[in-house]
Amino acid sequence: MEISTVFEEHFGKAPALLVKAPGRVNLLGEHVDYNDGPVLPAAIDRAVSLAAVPTPEEVITLYAKDFEEEVTFNLQSLEYKCDIHKQPLPKWAFYPAGVAWSLKKAGLDVSGLQATYDSDIPIGAGLSSSAAVEVAFATAWSASGGWDGDKMKLARLCQQAENGYVGVASGLMDQFASFHGIEDHALYFDTRSLVWEALPLPPATSLVIADTGIRRNLADSGYNERRTACEQAVRILQKHLPEIQSLRDVSPVELAAFGEFLPVPIRQRAEHVVREIARVETAVSALRRSDKRTFGALMFAGHASLRDLYEVSCPELDILVEIAHHLPGCLGARMTGAGFGGCTVNLVEESETPGFIKSLSTEYRAKVGHSPQVYPCKASGGARFEIVNRG
């Protein structure tokens, strides 16, 4: 059912505004965005769809079709994280409420809103369904408020919502990709300088997502622990490399020289980050010369590092990558997202994609006992809105 129809059935009137905000898949550069490193995501053709009507009251009424739940809260009491009946907000409402909180803190005009939204991005699968929700609502408030919606500024405010309101210490990559996606392109994004560049994906290839069906709650997982380990590594290395500000500033040679001063788990986390940053830079060169084999090899190497050094994989993700490695047409495969479950992303020769999808599903089921969700996706454009009814 179209989201505009859902809105009309729920609120008894037509929406004034329609928004789409895509999820993202990260091709390389995992767990480096909060270390000031460069990343290579792509927005995908799965998205959050939102329909809304701005209202003069400072009240937000949301209907989440995915959960079939409604909540109403006041813009003047966002910091309490409660609804108008002083009951705790449901967890799904933290994301739009957090965006409203962040926008208001930045001095932007946030109107009352009646809104409904749903998503075809699998929740908790490492494809940034939460960031897409944040970006959809930031786009809606930008459009309804008529204020300048600078995409990078809005991405950073959405990140602040996730960090300060939801409580997940995420980097900027997810929100950036959802706002800035370009069809058929990966996005090289330097999370320190905020400089970015669109790079064409290798010709005659497909991106294939394989979902293990395993879910981990990001805030309750080891994500924040990994971030803390990286910060500890920097503090220790600064005794020997006083000029560094983050692991972005540490070269592989320097880490080899001074890594002995790091406790074993922290050294492993730092080694992943430093080498993953180097892989991204090599991958950019590969994309510029359409070298799909080098790019795919870097994906496999990235997964091994995430599995062995950063320890954020899981058996099901490893099995998917192992199967993919020997299938015809597979150029590269790796887990994508924070890990602990979720999805792999596979770079596959276009001509071999149907057979790859079938074989990956069959072999995974034989090994694990249930079928994964496996589907091709395309790199897509970023968040967009349409005014459909000016009232």
- Distance in angstroms (rounded) separating the CA atoms of residues 128 and 95: 12
Number of C-alpha atoms within 13 angstroms, CB side, residue 21?
A: 30
- Given the residues 174, 190, 220, 249, the one annotated as active site: 174
DSSP 237-295: HTTT-TT-SSGGG--HHHHHHHGGGS-HHHHHHHHHHHHHHHHHHHHHHHHHTT-HHHH
Residues with Cβ within 8 Å of 186's Cβ and at least 6 positions away in sequence, in order, are 27, 40, 41, 42, 198, 199, 200, 201, 287, 379
H-run or E-run covering 3 = helix 3-11
At residue 207's C-alpha, the angle toward residues 213 and 135, to 5°, is 70
Q: Which of 350, 320, 315 is nearest to 333 (CA)?
A: 320
Instruction: Name the DSSP letter for residue 371.
Output: P
Catalytic residue list contains 148:
no
Q: Tell me which residue of 192, 327, 307, 164 sits closest to 249, measured CA to CA.
A: 192
CA 99 to chain CA mean position, Å = 16
Tokens of residue 59, six digits: 């009240």
- Amino acid (1-letter code) at residue 366: A
> Which residues are catalytically annotated?
174
